[in-house]
């Protein structure tokens, strides 16, 4: 299969990514094999590619906003069937037993692993994901539109829910990147008044166009 890998972390102008042929990955116990339909570009992918994050796996394939379909499964993988549409996000695996996992804060698990950093991600024709960390996705929605929801969407949604915004309340967003603009759309759809604070002229225009 074709895949991009980080040949030598460094500035993107130096072309740190290399297009290579890799074997189709074999899903391990409890894992799904996913045929990739689309994969977004997240700032964290740039951090991995440019070396801002330390190398966890030499020659890793980045990409963690993955939309695809199940193409196979390893021993013990449950809950999905071939052809099911799934998403693969940044958080790949946790131990499930530490104090953070037990209280539902598994993103803080000290044993956590990440897609496109600890394991090959979605800048390839196929990737793998533990079935417990695969997101079931709806049919009838464009894959390119779904991809950013697997990271920016998750972050924005969590932040909005943590804010405990009351019905018809006012929401302030500082900065207007990927997560914020998705959060704003959800808040507006729920009837909130949204205020955006950003210096970037293009971001200001987008915020106003969305109704902020």
State pLDDT tens for residues 114-161: 999 999 999 999 999 999 999 999 999 999 999 999 999 999 999 999
Quick check: 68 pLDDT over 90? yes
Mean pLDDT within 42-62: 95
**pLDDT tens for residues 19-29?**
999 999 999 99
Range 2-139 has CATH code 3.30.2350.10: no
Nearest to 121 by CA among 59, 170, 29: 59
Note the pLDDT of residue 156: 94
Tell me 25's DSSP state: P
* Domain assignments of the chain as residue spans, ordered by start: 2-139, 154-210
Quick check: 95 pLDDT over 90? yes
In the CATH scheme, what is the code of domain 154-210?
3.40.50.720
Report the DSSP pairing between strands 193-197 and 170-174.
Answer: parallel
pTM for this predicted structure: 0.90
Q: Which residues contact 14 (CB under 8 A, 6 or more apart)?
A: 8
Note the pLDDT of residue 107: 87
- Residue 126 is encoded by which pair of tokens? 């196929």
Note the pLDDT of residue 28: 96
Phi-psi region of 104 (alpha: psi -120 to 50; beta: other; left: phi over 0): left
Quick check: 74 pLDDT over 90? yes
């Amino acid at each position: 299969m074709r895949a991009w890998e980080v040949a030598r972390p460094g500035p993107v102008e130096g072309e740190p990514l290399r297009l290579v042929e890799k074997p189709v990955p074999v899903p391990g116990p409890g894992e799904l094999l996913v045929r990739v339909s689309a994969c977004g570009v997240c700032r964290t992918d740039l951090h991995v590619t440019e070396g801002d994050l330390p190398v966890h796996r030499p020659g890793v394939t980045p990409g963690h906003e993955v939309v695809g379909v199940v193409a196979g499964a390893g021993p013990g993988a449950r809950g999905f069937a071939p052809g099911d549409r799934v998403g693969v996000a940044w958080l790949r695996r946790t131990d499930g037993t530490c104090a953070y996992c037990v209280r539902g804060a598994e993103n803080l698990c000290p044993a956590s692993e990440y897609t496109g950093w600890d394991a090959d991600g979605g800048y390839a024709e196929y990737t793998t994901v533990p079935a417990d960390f695969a997101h079931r996705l709806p049919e009838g929605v464009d894959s390119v539109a779904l991809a950013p929801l697997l990271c920016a969407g998750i972050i924005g949604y969590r932040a909005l829910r943590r804010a405990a915004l009351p019905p018809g309340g006012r929401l302030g967003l500082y900065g207007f990147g990927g997560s914020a603009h998705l959060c704003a759309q959800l808040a507006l759809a729920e009837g909130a008044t949204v205020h955006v604070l950003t210096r970037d002229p293009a971001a200001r225009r987008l915020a106003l166009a969305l109704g902020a």
